[in-house]
Each structure stands twice: as C-alpha cells, then as structure tokens.
Amino acid sequence: MTPARKRDLALFAAGLSTFMSLYCAQVLLPELSRDFDVTPSQASLLVSLATGALALAIIPVSSLSERHGRTRVMLTSSAVSVGVGLLLPLCPSFEALAVVRALQGLALAGVPAVAMAYLADEVPPASLGGAMGRYVAGTAIGGVMGRLVPGVVTDLAGWRWAFTVTMIACLGFTVLFWALLPPSRNFRPGRADHRALLGHLGVPGLRRLYLVALVLMAGFVTTFNFLPFRLLDAPFGLPQAVVSLIAVANLAGSFTSAWAGTLADRAGRRPVLLGAILVSALGLLLTLPPSLPLIGLGLLLFTGGFLAAHAVASGWVGSIATTARAQASALYLFSYYLGSSIGGAAGGLAYERAHWAGTGAYVLVLLAIGLAAAAFAGGGRARAARLDLSGRLVGKLPR
C-alpha cells in the first residue's frame, strides 16, 4: 500500500471515529429528553457542550501541534477521546452526562484541529482539494454511523447500550488510525505565536471563510438536532429506529465533499462554494411541507450541499495560509464548532417557539449570511496575503 493510500485510509478512519463520538448523542436527544425529563433545548446541550468544548480546545491544540508534531497530537487525542466516551453509558444523571460530553469534546479536538494542517503539509497544492474532500467524506460517514448505530440500538436495548456499542466501534476505528497513519514528512517544528492568529484574522478573505463555517455549521446541527423531534411527533409518529435513518443523508455528503473538492481544484473554489450553499438552501426549503418523500429528498440535498461547502471552504483556508497552517485551520474549526454549539442551542429556542417552520426560517437566514460571505471569500477580487509565522504580511498568493 502506498504512503498516500495509507494516509487517506488513516484519516478516513480518524474521521469515522471522531464524528461518531461527537454526534452519537444527537439522534438520542428525544429519548434522553424523556428519560431525564428535560426540554428539547436542554437536551440539545449534550451536543452543544461537546462541540463548544471542542471549539475552545481547537486553537490551543493546534498550537501544540506546531511544536510537537501533527501525528503525535492526533494519535493522543484519538486514544483519550475513546477512553472518555466509554464513560457515557455509566452516567447516572443528565448533569453527569453533560460533564462527560464536555470532556469528550475537549479530548476530541486534536484530530479535527490538526488533520487539515497535516494534509496541507503532506499533499501537493494541486491535489489538496481532493485529499481534503476524502477526509471530509470520512467525517460524513462517521456522522452517519454516529447517528444510525445508536438510533437502532436504543430501540432494542436503551440509550446506555447505544452509547456502549457506538464507543466500541470508535475504539476499532481508532486502532486502525494508529496502525495506518504515516509519519509527517514535511512538517517542521515551529514556534506557536499568537501573532500568527492575529495575522490570519487580518486577512479579509480568511475572516469571510470563518464566517461561512460558523453560520453553515449552526444551520446544519440545528437541522439534525430537531428534525428527529418533528418526525417522532404527529403527523408522522415514526419509531426511533426509523428516525435514525435520517443520518443516511450524510452519505450524500461523503460523495459531494470529495467531488466538490476535486471540482474546486479545476474550476475555482468560489463558484463551487456558492453553488453548494444554494443547493443546501433548496434542500432545506423542501423539508418544510409535511411530506416524508420531500423531507427525505430535501435532507439529501441539504446535507450534500453543506458538506460540499465545508470541503471547499476548509481546503481554501489551507491554500491561503501558506505558513502557520494549523492555526489558520484551527480558527476555521473554532468558528465551525462555535456555530454548532451556539447556533444549535439557539435553534432549540426556534423549535420550541415556532416548531419546524420557525426552525427552517432560522436556518435559511444562516444560509443567506453564509452565501453573502462566500461571495467575497478568499480575498474577493484582490489576491490573498501570505503570512509568515509572526503573522506579518509577506506577499501575495494567487486566487
């Protein structure tokens, strides 16, 4: 097996494990809401706390990787996160579950914080979009399994066994990640400097990509947090195992993310990013009528568009920031998971006050903001500035 193939398979496994762990509570929110007698917006904290803790850890962990190496940080994070996740089925109360989910989010940060920088170091620029798309495909399938596996198991044996089975699967993928990940060939230890973060924030094109990440992820996690509540209630009244099948929509993203990354390498990132967001908005609109076929089609389009946009935007960050890439990627992911944490919680208020119509309107507003930011992402007509490790502007990089 070639080193490139091993690298792709290793990061695919890491994406599976990380995103199964991160979203394993999402499809269980209605069950946990009933079992612990909490509201839907309170139950959604089990997702928001994990993604919020991950967001807070992203930047410090990325700085560690600049000094201690990409692979060491990713491998440590993957092992610790599985150990913490195995505590989930043992939690006696909602409060204990919330604490463990927050700790799990902290432990998970190392893989998403560093994976994009690792790829940007190891993959030639002309192939970066495709490599990033394949990694995002792994995260997409991890999102499917993280919702599908616990959703099916909880109908058979309850939510505690759902967490147990999910985390055992994550342990297997983590072992595969450890076995396959090649060492970094192009990484050179550097000094983590807060001025590099400020330098990245000083580039308008990067700031717009960070805004795209924040609002699109807020809309995505809101949709998957609260659509199960709608499908379990009248007029649908579907069983939990069937509702968990909405996770299959993420499979659309596993294809569109890889395809969009490769297309962006050839046709340019901005048009592909704009098109992906528009597809996502169309899909969201189709979920508004009370029709299961339309909801299913809409969810496929919404998810495929979202993950295609994420693949393009995340790869664009790595191409603009030619140095201190881990920190540039960390700012993107900080925005991404901050959107998941805060935006997802705000989506719960929209659902409780206006049900799915209010939730859909909220998500459409977020997509409109993302579309406006994407139109001028990457520096607009101007060429994006390169940064040295101190965050100073040192030249121009073509679009």
CB 21 within 8 A of CB 167: yes
The pTM (predicted TM-score) of the whole model is 0.75
The number of residues in the chain equals 399
Q: Around Cβ 142, how many Cβ atoms within 10 Å?
A: 28
**Residue partners of 271: CB distance under 8 A and separation at least 6:** none
User: Rounded to an integer, what distance in angstroms lies between the CA atom of residue 144 and that of residue 24?
Assistant: 9
pLDDT value of position 189: 63
Please name the amino acid found at residue 191.
R
Residue 388: pLDDT band (50, 70, 90) is very low
Query: Where do the domains of the chain lie, and which CATH numbers do they carry?
Result: 3-397 (1.20.1250.20)
Mean pLDDT over residues 202-214, rounded? 87
Look at residue 255 in the predicted model and tell me its pLDDT. 76
pLDDT of residue 328: 80
Look at residue 345 in the predicted model and tell me its pLDDT: 79
Name the DSSP class of 236. T
Q: Could you read off the pLDDT of 94-138 as tens digits, one per residue?
A: 999 999 999 999 999 988 878 877 887 787 777 776 777 777 777
Measured distance CA(322)–CA(379) in Å, rounded: 15
Interval 231-251 mean pLDDT: 84
pLDDT tens profile 52-69: 999 898 888 877 877 777
Residue 331 pLDDT level (bands cut at 50, 70, 90): confident
Q: What is the mean pLDDT of residues 63-86?
A: 88
Residues 271-308: tens digit of each pLDDT? 999 999 999 999 999 999 999 999 999 999 999 999 89
Residue 150 banded pLDDT, cuts 50, 70, 90: very high
